Copies of this chain bind each other. A is one copy, B any other.
Amino acid sequence: MSARRIGRRAFLVTGAAALGGAAALGGRELLDGDEQTPYGVRAGGGTAGTATVPFRGPRQAGVGTPPQSFATLVAFDLLDGVDRAALVRLMRVWTDDIERLTGGRPALSDTEPELATVPARLTVTVGFGPGFLAVARRERLRPRWLAPLPPFPIDRLRDEYSGGDLVVQVGADDEITVAHAVRVLTRQARTFARPRWVQRGFRNSPGTVPEGTTMRNLMGQVDGTRNLRPGADDDRLIWIGEQGPEWLRGGTSMVVRRIAMNLDTWDELDRSAREQVIGRRLDTGAPLTGVAEHDEPDLAATGPGGLSVIPKFAHIRRSRSDDPRQRFLRRSYNYDDPPPAGQLSNSGLVFITFQADVEAQFTPIQRRLAELDSLNDWTTPIGSAVFAVPRGCRDGEYLGQPLLED
């Protein structure tokens, strides 16, 4: 066995052969009979694993896309010596990889092409941190919000979950698909960037709950009831328009906060106390003044003793503002990692938001919550990062081209 002696040349030949083999296995272009659904394109007669979300278009996928069951976020630090030309090369390679993988086809250099044949609505969303613009010598094009969030008194941030020059959000309805795409992209980037942090999250599996069910977090609450609806009237709050720098028009901003939940103390509260903390019923998710999840809360309602039905410090009261601009698209995932010694669990939320302007939309709400929110007794932000998400690729373009091209 001289397996270890096989060199680069054989590898390249293999890569091409592998591609052919995998195409026969399932890599494919869209065909007649494919079904276009709000959840992606599903092959005629295929399984949920064959569904794809188009990559090319005015906007990157993975923002307005209905959340897939799984997401892994990888933030990278750029290596010393990387310059703008290197970033262009990385973005060209990633663009090609992402286009292939999201279409259910292996990447050109894919060493596990068989793992690429179940796209399962795979999307890859790429974002740039402040360091990316610095390395690209494009700091003059940096929007003011592309910087670490201001410190909040509730924060207990850890370096291991914060910052990053570059991020990929990889989402799919199958974890093998996610793991494979993460591996391909990380390996391709290895001469340009090293992983800084990795966060994996999950929601319900495909098909286990009725479509349109709001996710529950591991505290048991419905999480995400009052959310922006991409494609509806709130689009200007999500996507950057004329007010942003030209290279970001059609793009957005991404905030990633890692929110640890103290389930042990939370579980000491009874249900009524927990409902007061949130301002919603735990069973239906209805506001304490309503009967159904999507009922508008009556913040002015008072009970027999003259006290507010939705308490002054309740999360749903504190998380809304009179300013209609102070909203954002949430696209969060649960995490549940092995507990450190002496603890029963290590759970929380990978809280991901998209908004046209972090400073105008996200920060004021976060400031209100940091100031006063009953939920703060049981949740702690332990990670924080902000990225600019460039617009999608037109035909022939690569990701970030409007920023990087001369």
Please choose the segment from A89-97, A135-143, A247-255, A268-276 that sits at the chain B interface, where 4 or more of its residues have CB less than 8 A away: A268-276
A204–B70 CA distance with the chains assembled, in angstroms:
12
Do B198 and A339 have beta carbons less than 8 Å apart? yes
Q: Which of B118, B183, B205, B374 has a CB less than 8 Å from the CB of A174?
A: B205
What per-residue 1/0 map shows which CB atoms of A84-118 lie under 8 Å from chain B? 00000000000000000000000000011111001
Do B283 and A205 have beta carbons less than 8 Å apart? no
Is A157 interfacial (CB 8 A cutoff)? no
Is A18 interfacial (CB 8 A cutoff)? yes
Is A37 interfacial (CB 8 A cutoff)? no
Do A334 and B176 have beta carbons less than 8 Å apart? yes
Is A81 interfacial (CB 8 A cutoff)? no
Q: How many residues of A contact B (CB 8 A)?
A: 84
Closest to A17 in B: B271
Do B270 and A10 have beta carbons less than 8 Å apart? yes
Do B204 and A206 have beta carbons less than 8 Å apart? no
Q: Which of B114, B194, B218, B268 has a CB less than 8 Å from the CB of A4?
A: B268
Give the shortest distance, in Å, between A254 (CB) and chain B (any CB): 19
CB-CB under 8 A from A377, the residues of chain B are 3-4
Give the shortest distance, in Å, between A400 (CB) and chain B (any CB): 22
CB-CB under 8 A from A70, the residues of chain B are 205
Do B267 and A187 have beta carbons less than 8 Å apart? yes
A21–B275 CA distance with the chains assembled, in angstroms:
14
Do A334 and B179 have beta carbons less than 8 Å apart? yes
CB-CB under 8 A from A179, the residues of chain B are 218, 334, 336, 347
Is A297 interfacial (CB 8 A cutoff)? no
Q: Which of B22, B271, B283 has a CB less than 8 Å from the CB of A14?
A: B271
Do B276 and A1 have beta carbons less than 8 Å apart? yes
Among A113, A175, A183, A269, residue most surrounded by chain B Cβ atoms (within 10 Å)? A175
Closest to A263 in B: B183
User: What would 5 more interface pairs be, CB under 8 Å, given A112-B219, A114-B282, A175-B334?
Assistant: A3-B269, A4-B265, A11-B270, A118-B204, A200-B336
5 CB contacts below 8 A, A to B, read A48-B205, A175-B334, A190-B344, A195-B344, A205-B206
